[in-house]
Amino acid sequence: MQTSNPLPNDANLAIARDVLLALDRLPTPWPTNNPLLAELVRFAARVVARERKQQRADGRERDADVRAETGIRSGSPASPAVPLPALARPSTCYVCKRQFNQLHHFYDSLCLECADWNFLRRHRTTDLRGRVALVTGGRVKAGYHVTLKLLRAGAEVVATTRFPKDAARRFAAEPDAEIWAGRLRLVGLDLRALAATEQFAAKMRSTLPHLDIFVANAAQTVRRPPAYYRSLVEAEREPLAALPTHAHEMVAHEASAAALATDGTLTTSHPGWPAELALLPLLPGDETASDHFPVGQLDQDQQQLDLRPENSWGLPQESVSTIELVEAHAINCLAPFLLLRELRPLFRAGAPRDRFAVMVSALEGQFAGEKTGRHPHTNMAKAALNMLVRTSAAEFAADRVFLTAVDPGWFSVQAAAPAAERFTTEGGRVPLDADDAASRILDPIFSGVESGQPASGVLFKDYRPVRW
């Protein structure tokens, strides 16, 4: 039976205190030829080190408890009128990089000044009634919140996704869905299919009166195999009648702009082609069912849980497949290029006024700063998207279409399951959420509408222009 070592009694502690006090009064340097003295000093240092280690651990635990009370961690913002306790250890602000101890009621990784600014911007809106917007990748994460914010600002929105019925279910679950459901149109589109993307643009030209806002949000950061999408595809095969009332309204018009027939050619006869295309095996192993995607288990974004031990976020250049290289460029930069080109007539249509195109970029696409040597294909694709903005912004501005790029910030973990779990276990925190990302993406639009002086040809991060 294991027992803990008993604490020395008061008499022995008093002797130890007196010995240490006497040592403290010795002139320096101490005698080094006394082995008993050297051993005593080592023991004393060990006790002090252990105590400091425990104090640090206690401080980390206390800080974790305090951070858990912030709105971004709890999901229910603490009252700004009740200040949270100060952190035991200073933290570095995600935005300005200064150290801080006092926590904001919502953010736990931003200093008070930056947190107040970000919280104000997070809840910003403007009047977009009468404006028409297109958002790619509007089903989850930042794209979902971008779409919501545009709808709640009064805009009519076309949002693309490979899984429009799943998106409709998500939007219909919003408490205010009945207010704006009639202004949301969900369209099935797989941006890897560039010919279908052009057909989609042609369909938009024939059905929309004009276009005021284009947000190229869809991206592929990590490729996932068909097994990951199986449950989503099965849900897309359900009849429209199975959807909730408001969800049915969002997709009843048509499910897609083009479809994939069984012989592999593009046609308009099959509305579920974007979802079905997700099951097409393109790489060795794609046809294999996997226990890494447990049925019915979802992650924090309410998407299929991915338990793979590694993914493409950690791959060096020699390990990136040709398929993933091409897909990343098709979705991240080629499709936005095509849509900008093909939708120019819609930007020019209607009454003259400022129009906006926002390309959602990322830190990976910036030449400024260091790179890790991993996922070069996504870095390349986002860098190409940035170059599109730098090169073509002046051309678009001549038509009063103001083209910008936005880094939405760090709001999700892309690493594979073991690394992501280790990040969380070791106290790692993602500083922002998808709502913050959406607010950053829309800020050039909201600011441009309100000020009448839109930005053009600029890369924004944390609501401010930064180096490319």
- Tell me the CATH number for domain 126-465: 3.40.50.720
Using the predicted structure, report yes or no on whether residue 180 has a pLDDT greater than 80: yes
Poorest-pLDDT segment among 16-25, 32-41, 174-183, 290-299: 32-41
Contact 363, 312 (CB under 8 A): no
pTM (predicted TM-score): 0.88
Give residue 30's pLDDT. Answer: 66
259-260 vs 213-216, strand pairing mode: unpaired
Average pLDDT, rounded, for the chain: 90
Give residue 262's pLDDT. Answer: 41
Higher-scoring residue by pLDDT: 292, 267: 292
Contact 382, 332 (CB under 8 A): yes
Poorest-pLDDT segment among 107-111, 195-199, 284-288, 405-409: 284-288
User: Which range is most confident: 44-53, 200-209, 259-268, 421-430?
Assistant: 200-209
Mean pLDDT to the nearest integer, 87-98:
94
Poorest-pLDDT segment among 32-41, 227-236, 458-467: 32-41
Higher-scoring residue by pLDDT: 63, 170: 170
d(CA 277, CA 192): 10
Give residue 260's pLDDT. Answer: 40
Q: Is 337 exposed, middle or buried (0-12, 13-18, 19+ CB in 10 A)?
A: middle
Using the predicted structure, report yes or no on whether residue 415 has a pLDDT greater than 70: yes
Give me the torsion for CA of 71, 76, 81, 86, rounded to 10°.
Answer: -40
Every domain of the chain and the residues it spans: 61-123, 126-465
Poorest-pLDDT segment among 3-7, 233-237, 360-364, 451-455: 3-7
Using the predicted structure, report yes or no on whether residue 215 has a pLDDT greater than 60: yes
Using the predicted structure, report yes or no on whether residue 406 has a pLDDT greater than 90: yes
200 confidence band (pLDDT: 50, 70, 90): very high
pLDDT tens-digit readout, 306-351: 999 999 999 999 999 999 999 999 999 999 999 999 999 999 999 9
Mean pLDDT to the nearest integer, 52-81:
77
Spell 179-205 as b/e; 16+ CB within 10 A means b: ebbebbbbbbbbbbbeebbbbbbebbe
